Amino acid sequence: MSPTTSTDLVYLSAAEAQRLFTARELSPVELMRAVIERTETMEPRINAFTERLFDQALEQARHAEDRYLGRSGLQPRPLEGIPVATKEKHAIKGRLLTEGSLLNENNIAAENAPVIDRIVEAGGIVHARTTTPEFSAATFTHSRLWGITRNPWNPEFTPGGSSGGAGASLAAGTSLLASASDIGGSTRIPSAFTGTVGFKAPYGRNPGMGPLAADHYRGDGPMGRTVDDVIALQNVLVGPHPADPNSIRPKLTLPATYEDVSGMRLALCIRLGEYDVHPEIEANTRAAARVLADAGAVVEEITLPWTRQDLLTAVAGHYSTIFGAALLEIPEEYRDRLSPNTVAFVELMHSFRDRVSYLDALRVENRLQRQLATALEGFDALLCPTTAIPGWHAGDDLTGEKVVVGGEEVADTLWAAMTLPFNINNRCPVLNVPSGRSSWGVPTGLQIVGHTYDDPTVFRVGKALETLRPWSYTALRQHQS
């Protein structure tokens, strides 16, 4: 059945939108107009966009319509006519590239980021650019330049970060797909808090922009509302690119269909060593695991010997080498233009430079990586929570020691998310899928972690879970309409 209202249109999956385009039951122009209308309603509430490119998007939608109607002599491409919101840090030549900082408020990009090239070449329409915290260096999304981005499910809460604008836009129905990046959880945290799907590809799978493309903790990737949509965008982003000599060849194309989970062996780990996990997060994680077990997978609970000290040593040595050095490049007279959380972060990283060396970090990273590989022997994938708590308030800088929600201390700031271990183990693919919803009105997420460079397996599990426990935006639409 074709959608009948503009709200139905904006919550289409990208796959369903393209099916309707091909059947000539929906025009890319009609969809784009619905997304623009939705943006005008939702943006004052959530503030997910830094820039709207609507005029050129409508023109591109007309060209896409011509392809579907056979008027141009050109065939539709993999993302033809789909509205894609791109993270502002993904540079577009000739447009502002601020990364959320007043220091860069007049900076103009000299070239496209590889992910932008890939999306445009595939027929995706970049209709808007999404908010981040300053320099994408936080697990929330607000900055002095752009203000506070809020979670459409509960505007009192953050959508997470750093790809928070991407997650908020997808949840609000102001985009169908979005680009993201992940250096410490920046794709998976907002995916968890907004009830969307996000993929942290293994290092080198997707091309990035230098010099940070050489950082083995980070990577660019896709976000969407369904597993199939994320597969489609990932298959566009993936593959070697001349701008990034670290990008892997040959290109790995993910399958469109997968076997069910019957006979798979899945490890379940709730605490990842020493994380303190909120009871609602644990309950939702276990519920997802039970569904997979009921479908025929063998699910076995395991523990990991990871310690907070080892995790802290690894990330301190790594981040201090990069971000500690970055502080030295900012002249003292300009530092008052930075957001408070940025100052706190870079000063902390700078303080670690003389205490934890990069070699110290590598030694610990190797131990953590071997411990994970040993724990996963005999298993196809690992299931674990994405965050330790269901969320935190929009606007909180998290510069103190504790996350406080409703006047209650609910987690140590550094340990509120459970994503960093898999940036340390960044050759492992990780897919975030929804695991449920908390009493705080915010979705919760499940990480599906694969063996190194075994991307298809995490999508097999994610697709099965989505089929067994369909995730609906109905309640969100009713709340927002």
| In the chain, where the domains are located | 6-480
Coil, strand, or helix at residue 356? coil
Choosing from 6, 13, 87, 320, the catalytic residue is: 87
6 catalytic, yes or no?
no
pLDDT in tens, 328-363: 788 888 888 999 888 888 888 888 888 999 999 999
162 catalytic, yes or no?
yes
pLDDT in tens, 150-198: 999 999 999 999 999 999 999 999 999 999 999 999 999 999 999 999 9
Helix axes 14-22, 54-69, angle to 10 degrees: 50
CA pair distance 311, 325, nearest whole angstrom:
21
pLDDT band at 405 (very low <50, low <70, confident <90, very high): very high
Structure tokens at 388: 């330790």
Cis peptide before 162 (omega within 30 of 0): yes
Choosing from 162, 181, 247, 435, the catalytic residue is: 162
CA pair distance 206, 226, nearest whole angstrom:
20
State whether CATH 3.90.1300.10 applies to domain 6-480.
Answer: yes
Per the CB < 8 A criterion, the answer to whether 143 and 168 are in contact is no
Structure tokens at 406: 């409703």
Residue whose tokens read 């050759």? 427
- Single-letter residue type at 330: I
pLDDT at position 332 is: 82
Mean pLDDT computed over 220-234: 98
pLDDT band at 459 (very low <50, low <70, confident <90, very high): very high
pTM > 0.85: yes or no: yes
Choosing from 186, 191, 247, 339, the catalytic residue is: 186
87 catalytic, yes or no?
yes
> 335 to each of 178, 340, 342, how far by Cα in Å?
31, 10, 10
Structure tokens at 232: 């489609």
Mean pLDDT computed over 218-238: 98
